[in-house]
């Protein structure tokens, strides 16, 4: 096993083992099952691992970021549940399993997404209960920044722009605006949450911010590429759906060769952004390389 695969698998396995204890209790059983089904359905766990990697790069333990990482994964999972609904992308499979609404029905799937979204903010609100060294001001700052990244100014706004752009030919600037918000803002928050929790310096935060912005766009370009040439069994979902829905993508706008070249440039720029004192870069470089080489 190569160092990248070993690192990702260890981090993802540890994180997934922690997830069940953060789900709410004393709630309707069917709702809990629906939440748990999608939350533990697998996936790359890229955003939590990014948070852990930032913490570790400045000498802090990943345990300090666990609850925030769970909140991030809950919001990411809710967005996927809602994305798969008939009114959005109308997908039957996600991560190799039937989508939530195919198992639990559309109504329960919507409620499970709503529950994951709101419970994520509850977890951030009680961070000082888990980590007394963290202040309520830090908790409130993370809540504010996550609301910005996940809501109408971030991911949800990007998804709205993406819907409006279907069957339209967009210029590169508009395409990047969509994906800066739809995909990039939550990746950016994951890195910045690690920086905030770990007490990074202003210069370090600026470096992490640039790194994460570059990775967010590169991540989306690879998503677009895999939707064309990916292996459905590895992806766990259908390929070609972007073209069927008339979505604007990087390969459609730039062509496959230029899209790959652009992605590689972004990853190189991300690595250069963190070439400053006080940041241990090994795992952050591995994560950047993962974006280029991932096949799911």
Q: Is residue 160 part of a domain?
A: yes
- Residue 216 reports pLDDT greater than 60: yes
Where b means 16+ CB within 10 Å and e means fewer, 46-73 reads bbbbbbbbbbbbbebebebbbbbbbbbb
- Residue 237 reports pLDDT greater than 60: no
| Mean pLDDT, the chain, whole residue set | 92
Distance of alpha carbon 220 from alpha carbon 291, whole angstroms: 9
Q: Is residue 32 part of a domain?
A: yes
The residue among 228 and 267 whose pLDDT is bigger is 267
What is the per-residue pLDDT for 273? 97
CATH code for the domain in which residue 157 is found? 1.10.600.10
Q: Is residue 292 part of a domain?
A: no
Q: Which of 180-189, 232-241, 260-269, 279-288 has the lowest mean pLDDT?
A: 232-241
Average pLDDT over residues 62-77: 98
* Model pLDDT for residues 240-264, shown as the tens digit of each residue: 566 666 677 899 889 999 999 999 9
- CA 265 distance to own-chain centroid: 21
Query: Nearest 5°: CA angle at 172, between 171 and 176?
Result: 125
Query: Nearest 5°: CA angle at 265, between 261 and 270?
Result: 150
- Residue 292 reports pLDDT greater than 90: no
End-to-end CA distance of the chain: 18
What is the per-residue pLDDT for 293? 84
- Residue 75 reports pLDDT greater than 60: yes
Closest among 196, 231, 199, 228 to 212, alpha carbons compared: 196
Tell me, yes or no, if the pTM score tops 0.85. Answer: yes
Average pLDDT over residues 130-135: 96
Q: Is residue 28 part of a domain?
A: yes
Q: Is residue 95 part of a domain?
A: yes
Distance of alpha carbon 149 from alpha carbon 144, whole angstroms: 9
Q: Is residue 296 part of a domain?
A: no
The torsion defined by the Cα of 33, 84, 229 and 234, in degrees rounded to 10, comes to 10
- Residue 275 reports pLDDT greater than 70: yes
Where b means 16+ CB within 10 Å and e means fewer, 83-113 reads bbbeeebebeebeebebbbeebeeebbbbbb
Identify the domain containing residue 120 by its residue range: 3-287
Structural domains of the chain, count: 1
* Model pLDDT for residues 147-206, shown as the tens digit of each residue: 999 999 999 999 999 889 888 888 999 999 999 999 999 999 999 999 999 999 999 999
Where b means 16+ CB within 10 Å and e means fewer, 36-45 reads ebbbebebeb
User: Does residue 61 sit in helix, strand or coil?
Assistant: coil
- Residue 21 reports pLDDT greater than 90: yes
Distance of alpha carbon 152 from alpha carbon 146, whole angstroms: 11
| Burial of 18 (C-beta count, 10 Å sphere; 0-12/13-18/19+) | middle
Distance of alpha carbon 120 from alpha carbon 67, whole angstroms: 9
């Amino acid at each position: 096993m190569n160092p990248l695969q070993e690192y990702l698998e260890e981090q993802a396995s540890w994180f997934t083992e922690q997830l069940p204890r953060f789900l709410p209790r004393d709630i309707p059983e069917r709702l809990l099952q629906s939440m748990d089904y999608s939350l533990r359905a697998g996936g790359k766990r890229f955003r939590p691992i990014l948070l852990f990697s930032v913490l570790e790069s400045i000498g802090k333990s990943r345990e300090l970021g666990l609850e925030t990482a769970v909140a991030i994964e809950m919001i990411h999972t809710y967005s996927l549940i809602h994305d798969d609904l008939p009114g959005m992308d109308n997908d039957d499979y996600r991560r190799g399993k039937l989508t939530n609404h195919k198992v639990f029905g559309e109504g329960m799937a919507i409620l499970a997404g709503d529950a994951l979204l709101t419970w994520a903010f509850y977890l951030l609100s009680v961070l000082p209960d888990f980590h007394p060294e963290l202040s309520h001001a830090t908790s409130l700052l993370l809540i504010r920044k996550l609301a910005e990244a996940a809501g109408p100014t971030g991911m949800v706004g990007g998804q709205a722009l993406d819907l409006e752009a279907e069957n339209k030919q967009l210029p590169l600037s508009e395409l990047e605006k969509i994906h800066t918000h739809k995909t990039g803002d939550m990746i950016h928050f994951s890195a910045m949450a690690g920086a905030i929790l770990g007490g990074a310096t202003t210069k370090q935060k600026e470096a992490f911010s640039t790194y994460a912005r570059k990775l967010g766009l590169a991540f989306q370009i690879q998503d677009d590429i895999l939707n064309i040439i990916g292996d459905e069994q590895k992806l766990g979902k259908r390929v070609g759906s972007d073209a069927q829905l008339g979505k604007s993508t990087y390969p459609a706008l730039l062509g496959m060769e230029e899209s790959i070249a652009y992605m590689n440039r972004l990853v190189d720029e991300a690595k250069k952004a963190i070439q400053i004192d006080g940041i241990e870069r090994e795992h952050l470089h591995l994560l950047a390389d993962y974006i280029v080489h991932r096949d799911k």
